[in-house]
Chain A
Amino acid sequence: MPGNALGVVGKGVFLLQPTPRNSAPEERMHPRPTAAAAATPEQLAAIDAAIARLQSLPGACLPILHAIQAALGFVPAEATARIAAALNLSRADVHGVLTYYHDFRSAPPGRHVLKVCRAEACQAVGSDALAAHVAARHGAAVGATSADGALTVEAIYCLGNCALGPSVQLDGRLCGRVDAARLDALLAAAKGADA
């Protein structure tokens, strides 16, 4: 019953963070409500711009979500209601789409995003060890961002590069035959470019 009684207006809105697939079961079962940081005016403008540009497409919800994530690196909580209003969908409709795809983030990622393939072929050639190495060495477990904000690590399921596993994708670039040393080099190069 939105918007009728004052009592409901301005009530805190909590976003349930979609949890990464491979997190511990108890973590997956207890998505803690996290008070989402309010989007900045620039972020809201980016959301509105994406909506304005794409809303006339048939099935515009996904293209808009992609455009927002491309612009901001994540989809702020405020996007849900704005997309819903523009496309005449319910907020729940948009929430369902948004959470269905693991690719959409609800919080800003680190400066670099590393996707480690966790599908069977890569697992068979050591992607688990690779993930453990990243967590130990670079401070970001799969599904988390390092404390210095430099790196977010995500799981991905098959990059279509099975013959050359283990595979990762760093900032959108596919790399095969990745071992710990190669990964450290890749990350060092990427982080080095930041400076």
Chain B
Amino acid sequence: MYSNKVLDLGTPAPRSTSTVTVHIDGKPIDVPAGTSVMRAAMEAGVKIPKLCATDSLDAFGSCRLCLVEVDGRKGTPASCTTPCEPGMKVKTQSEQLRKLRRGVMELYISDHPLDCLTCPANGNCELQDMAGAVGLREVRYGYEGENHLVGQKDTSNPYFTFDATKCIVCSRCVRACDEIQGTFALTVQGRGFDSKITAGPTDFLSSECVSCGACVQACPTATLMEKSIADAGQPDRAVTTTCAYCGVGCSFRAELQGNEVVRMVPDKDGKANHGHSCVKGRFAWGYATHPDRVKAPMIRDRISDPWREVSWEEAFAFAANKVKGIQQRYGAGAVGGITSSRCTNEETYLVQKLVRGGFGNNNVDTCARVCHSPTGYGLKSTLGESAGTQDFDSVEHTDCIIVIGANPTDGHPVFGSRMKQRLREGCGLIVIDPRRIDLVKTPHVRADHHLQLRPGTNVAVMNSLAHVIVTEGLEAKGYIAERCEQDAYDKWKAFISDQKNSPETLEEHTGVPAAEIRAAARLFAKAPNGAIYYGLGVTEHAQGSTGVMTIANLAMLTGNIGRPGVGVNPLRGQNNVQGSCDMGSFPHELPGYRHVGDPSVRALFEAEWGVKIQPEPGLRIPNMFDAAIDGSFKALYVQGEDIAQSDPDTQHVQKALESLECLIVQDIFLNETAKYAHVIFPGSSFLEKDGTFTNAERRISMVRKVMPPLAGLADWEVTVRFAEALGFPMHYRHPREIMAEIARLTPTFTGVSYEKLDRLGSIQWPCNDAAPDGTPYMHEKEFVRGKGRFFLTEFLPTPERTSKRFPLLLTTGRILSQYNVGAQTRRTGNKIWHDADVLDIHPVDAEARGIRHGDHVSLQSRKGDTTLRAVVSDRMQPGVVYTTFHHPESGANVVTTDNSDWATNCPEYKVTAVQVTRVAVDKSDWQRRFDEFAQQQEQLAERAQEVKK
């Protein structure tokens, strides 16, 4: 359960603006209309005993412990289900109530194991607390009657146990799974005395449960209990911090014993997650103390040499000498850096500062290059700011949602649950995806339209939606006239109205029936509030930036930007992709998306940093690889990104890394990239440092140190010391000083400070004099660029086409239990759900190739081949196969190509022409070479340990 040190108000806050006054035990209190008597009392500081009520769930009224007396009314109503009425006088304590409550508790306790002292919930158990609160002293019924005291624990889930003997059948778990998570995996089996909570007809692991932890958090007893608490005992303190997984950026309470995390619990006050979590943030944090963590700096001259563990000083001196030597021999531009979207804003800021100031060039890029760079470009061009327009809460006001190229229930599960709540309230849903993702059809949610397009045809589908809206006169004429550039709109309108953009014409490319597109377009255009959510399925295409522009166009066309419930919402992949982009991680932009070519911007930073900044943009990541192979780029400083696994065309990346004379990797693990490195700076996990992350809704949240860095230095300190060794001293005593510098130099951040973050909990930028508390939704009265601009978005089919040799299209993605390259989640209990990447293939394609479920199959493209196991699945459409890239040995990116977005070079991960064949062997040649190299590098790392001993 949630910590009993945090006040539970019993029922959720109503959405009401009018207030009523009630008297609780003589105390007057004003509450919003619709507030329960229980909540009003709790707010007034009067605690009412309760068991089945908790403030994250609607009132249920089953436990009968929260009974109260109301003046002028008969009986003793349950305070949780009784709304406050004006002038109501409530009595929470009386002899009658005491007797009733004791009677109820007696019944509960007569059928409860009395093993409190050895129970894992001891000290944090609502049943125990309530027995105390009602003054239970005896159980007149004895303990010998029929009971539920014998039974087996369900330990199948890796993170929590279910012990029915301790269950009071309050249904909080069932309701949490239904109302909050929306998975409906739990139920009450049987009835009456036989009632038992189950995960359907199976154990928890085989059930529909997605292990989000909502049930465990809701449980008032030890029935659903974290194994970590059963092992370690109850925490003695808690620190509020921010999850380091996806771009939802959930706020968590890290609960600790000393410096050891014993549990992560979502923070009820977290504005991104409102007390909800997913299996990754809630449970998969054990990687932080995994034995694989790198705990000391290491160096070597060649990648075939054994590693040598050295002091931090020696590592910094070694790296700085290498970099300076290379710059002398090959020029200042022969070195560069990559900032991490997993590190804090302060840390990414420092790396780009080090590159621009210490290396003296603009060769800095970030992994957003391979995910959301088209978002930056597309939204800046059309709307004027490189960020999503809304907060997550906005979805509560949406009437129709388009989800395109995103899979929120897997990729952004906590927001996915919010979205499902709204969908269950009747909000329309249009899913545009080549696969039948869960949102298309999942318990109690069904998409109105699934536009199951062929990979690579997003722009065609979006254009045809816009075509229908314009040609049928459904556009928001007044909004466009007032808020958008008329000339650009007129040109665009002529373009989009052309027959070539009609759904009938484009059907040949998209494979989506024109009638379905027309119906979807009408549904979206007619909704009072329409919102578009998208992900990497839009950006990671040859026309990625065009795709983002079609989204902005459609939102402006339907008048859906500038208020709650609408907007253009990029779902960011990693925890701090938004932040790393904001912090000037791109080769052409200084923090705040200001071009390096602008002398006035450069002057600002030059004055603060005391160095000269180059006016020409530097190299992007793919340019760095190409330059490394052609011999003009020789050293790379990589902060927390595993380019050898995550970037496309793996063999090309490997060749580039092998060509470097000095590769400096700063990471918490010896990842795939580290195998090619000459210097390892041990990184620090999010639990080991202070800083901030910025999530997909531009929300800046505090990351707080809960334990000391395992290797002694936080990532920001590493960059500071490395810069010093390069002769570019930085003087920061704490990350708050870095944020102060960012705020001084960045107009959208001028109001941001740690003091304000501590006070407000989190802040959505822009935060400045115009918006001192931040900006939940943008472009309210006008667009950041002034007038919104429609861009012509001609559909050009990707050059990646199927052929006789490669007749299928491969698209890639991720799944719920694993995260990105898997470096973290593979080192946790999450392995149980996904211990290997598999290839999803449609039954028709499988049958044609004689492939059965579980067979080894070879996946080949013009770039390379790899071997996976097949999963035959009708989620796919015929002609399209799918895999994930969570395991390095799977080699999904050995197959992906060098195609990329025309504007930003974001790779086209989502479309690769492939062939799939059944094979007898379990590994391709590349995979065998991979294994060999991995083994060799492991031995070299082990020898570092031996040398030390």
The chain A residues found within 8 Å of chain B, CB to CB, are: 1-9, 11, 13-16, 18-19, 21, 25-26, 28-30, 77, 80, 84, 88-96, 99-100
Contacts and interface: CB of A to CB of B under 8 A. Distances in A.
Contacts of B291: none
Interface stretch (B2-10, B203-211, B395-403, B914-922): B203-211
Contacts of A13: 201-202, 206
B147 to A, nearest CB: 8
Contacts, number: 119
B882 to A, nearest CB: 11
Contacts of A1: 209-211, 815-817, 833-834
Given A88-B441, A91-B201, 9 more contacts: A4-B816, A4-B833, A9-B871, A13-B206, A15-B201, A16-B189, A89-B184, A92-B198, A95-B200
Given A29-B148, A91-B207, A92-B207, A6 B189 contact: no
B835 to A, nearest CB: 6
30 contacts: A1-B209, A1-B815, A1-B817, A4-B816, A6-B871, A7-B832, A7-B833, A8-B206, A13-B201, A14-B202, A14-B203, A16-B201, A18-B194, A25-B146, A28-B146, A29-B149, A30-B151, A88-B441, A88-B442, A88-B446, A89-B184, A89-B444, A90-B208, A91-B207, A91-B208, A92-B187, A92-B208, A93-B184, A95-B201, A99-B190
A90 B816 contact: no
Given A30-B151, A92-B200, A95-B187, A5 B211 contact: no
Nearest to B442: A88
B834 A4 contact: yes
Contact of A6 (B188, B206, B207, B854): B854
A29 B875 CA distance: 40
A28 B194 contact: yes
B627 interface: no
Contacts of A3: 871, 873, 875
Given A88-B446, A92-B184, A29 B151 contact: yes
A90 B185 contact: yes
Contact of B150 (A5, A9, A26, A89): A26
B838 interface: yes
B189 A96 contact: yes
A51 to B, nearest CB: 15
Given A4-B815, A6-B836, A96-B187, A91 B200 contact: yes
Contacts of B148: 29
B201 A77 contact: yes
B199 interface: yes
B196 to A, nearest CB: 9
Nearest to A26: B150
Q: What class of interface size applies to chain B in its complex with A?
A: 35 or more
B174 to A, nearest CB: 8
Contacts of B192: 21
Contacts of B201: 13-16, 77, 80, 91, 95
Contacts of B190: 18, 99-100
A89 B776 CA distance: 35
Contacts of B183: 90
B86 interface: no
A133 to B, nearest CB: 26
Centre residue among A21, A26, A88, A91 by max chain B CB count within 10 A:
A91
Contacts of B441: 88
B590 interface: no
Interface centre among A13, A21, A92, A99, by most chain B C-beta atoms within 10 angstroms, is A92
B208 A6 contact: no
Contacts of A16: 189, 198, 201
Contacts of A99: 189-191
Contacts of A88: 441-446
A18 B189 contact: yes
A81 to B, nearest CB: 9
A174 B940 CA distance: 83
B429 interface: no
B307 to A, nearest CB: 34
B330 to A, nearest CB: 47
Contact of B833 (A5, A25, A30, A95): A5
Given A2-B208, A4-B833, A6-B871, A89 B443 contact: yes
B186 interface: yes
Nearest to A13: B202
A174 B105 CA distance: 43
B497 to A, nearest CB: 38
A9 B207 contact: no
Contacts of B805: none
Contacts of A11: 206
B206 A30 contact: no
B237 interface: no
A115 B340 CA distance: 70
Contacts of B146: 25, 28
A94 to B, nearest CB: 8
A82 to B, nearest CB: 13
Nearest to B194: A28
Contact of A96 (B151, B188, B205, B832): B188
A6 B150 contact: no
B832 to A, nearest CB: 7
Most chain-A CB neighbours within 10 Å: which of B151, B194, B208?
Answer: B194
B200 A19 contact: no
Nearest to B165: A29
B914 to A, nearest CB: 20
B853 interface: yes
Contact of B835 (A7, A25, A90): A7
Nearest to B152: A30
A92 to B, nearest CB: 4
A6 B816 CA distance: 15
A100 B834 CA distance: 34
B263 interface: no
B342 interface: no
Nearest to A14: B202
B194 A92 contact: no
B208 A100 contact: no
B776 to A, nearest CB: 33
Interface string B811-853: 0000111000000000000001111101000000000000001
With most chain A CB atoms within 10 A of its CB, the pick from B189, B817, B871 is B189
B869 interface: yes
User: Which 8 A-B residue pairs are closest in the complex by CB-CB distance?
Assistant: A96-B187, A90-B184, A92-B200, A90-B443, A92-B187, A91-B200, A5-B834, A95-B200
A159 B537 CA distance: 61
B11 to A, nearest CB: 24
A80 B816 contact: no
B260 to A, nearest CB: 28
Given A1-B816, A5-B834, A25-B146, A92 B199 contact: yes
Nearest to B177: A92
A7 B815 CA distance: 15
B816 A93 contact: no
Contacts of A93: 184, 187, 443
Contact of A8 (B446, B833, B875): B833
B228 to A, nearest CB: 20
A94 B186 CA distance: 11
A92 B834 contact: no
Contacts of B187: 90, 92-93, 95-96
A92 B151 contact: no
A122 B943 CA distance: 83
Contacts of B444: 88-90
Nearest to B853: A9
